Amino acid sequence: MPARSIGSGTISFGLVSIPVKLYTAAAPKGVHFNMLHGKCGSRMKQQYVCPIDNEVVERKDMVRGYEHTKDTYVRFTEEELKTLEAERTSQLELLEFVPTTSVDLISIEKTYFLGPDKGGDRAYALLSESMERAGRMAVGKFAQRGKENLVLVRPYKKGLVLHEVFYADEVRDFGEVETGGTFEFKPIERDLADKLIEQLAQDTFEPTRFKDEYAARVLAAVDAKVAGNEVTVSEEAPKAQIIDLLEALKRSVAATTAARSADDAPESAPGGGPKKAALREDEAEKSVG
């Protein structure tokens, strides 16, 4: 089944323009769990709660704030944020070509496949072949979702892939990691380490040789629980009751009137005689009847 593109754009460098389509290259699979109410088994829903007012806050009542100092925020409206977004041009501008060996993999955030769009097949193939021959990647910028992303484009299996990469200030300095002291190793220690690596060496990395053992165990446990009928069916949340407005108003008025009448009524006469207010109401009803 052919892959479905998730977007389109244009690669541009110099006077060259290549229409391309964007495809998802990889997506996490694994196993995922939902949080259920232990009492009834219903799936839980998240809510935003204000700790000051102690109330649930709806989306419409929220604003965005940037914390510029501890617990101090600068507010932005949606309109203000839109004016700060990058121009939506769908243009992938290639700025320079660098040696593939100069790119540190730690900078890569996400990966997408790039395929040629209508009319771009020849130029697409030429760019891929030329970069492969030169041993270089392209560095560029691609505006998506209002943000200008730093990207790498590299040749891949007679085509192109796009890597979204972190900006330099987003990658932490490995120098901050404590790696221990400096050591002098004996020749025998080096030889043993080299032999161990050689014993486990492979010519290429083949991801198909590996599988998610945890996911396999969880799915096997799921099958066993289903076979044993250990399944929780989440009940449908009760729908809000639709109330006739006129009827609701009548009931509210009647309830309020009855409450006021009870508050205004004088105490019963000594000896358990009826209240005067009650006698007057009875007489009024008889006269109406």
Segment 100-129, tens digit of pLDDT: 999 999 999 999 999 999 999 999 999 999
Tokens of 231: 């399944």
Q: Is the model's pLDDT at 41 over the cut of 70?
A: yes
Q: Is the model's pLDDT at 225 over the cut of 80?
A: yes
How many angstroms separate the CA atoms of 137 and 108, rounded? 13
How many angstroms separate the CA atoms of 162 and 139, rounded? 10
Q: What is the pLDDT of residue 267?
A: 54
pTM of the model: 0.69
Q: Is the model's pLDDT at 151 over the cut of 90?
A: yes
Mean pLDDT of the region 70-98: 87
pLDDT higher at 13 or 275: 13
pLDDT digits (tens, 9 = 90+) for 244-260: 555 666 676 677 777 66
Q: What is the pLDDT of residue 158?
A: 92
* 78-82, 84-88, 202-206, 283-287, range with the lowest pLDDT: 283-287
pLDDT digits (tens, 9 = 90+) for 181-217: 899 999 999 999 999 999 999 999 998 998 988 888 8
Q: Is the model's pLDDT at 277 over the cut of 70?
A: no
- The proportion of the chain whose per-residue pLDDT surpasses 70, expressed as a percent, equals 82
Cβ contacts of 142 within 8 Å, gap of 6 or more: 9, 91, 92, 93, 148, 149, 151, 162, 164
In DSSP terms, 48 is beta-bridged to: 57
Q: How confident is the model at residue 264 (pLDDT cuts 50, 70, 90)?
A: low
Q: What is the pLDDT of residue 240?
A: 52
Q: What is the pLDDT of residue 14?
A: 83
Q: What is the pLDDT of residue 82?
A: 86
Instruction: Give the CATH number of domain 7-28+85-169.
Output: 2.40.290.10
Q: How confident is the model at residue 238 (pLDDT cuts 50, 70, 90)?
A: low
How many angstroms separate the CA atoms of 192 and 156, rounded? 37
Q: What is the pLDDT of residue 289?
A: 42
Burial of 63 from C-beta contacts in 10 A (0-12 / 13-18 / 19+): exposed
* Structural domain boundaries in the chain: 7-28+85-169
Taking all residues of the chain, what is their mean pLDDT, rounded to a whole number?
84
Cβ proximity of 52 and 32 under 8 Å: no
Q: What is the pLDDT of residue 235?
A: 66
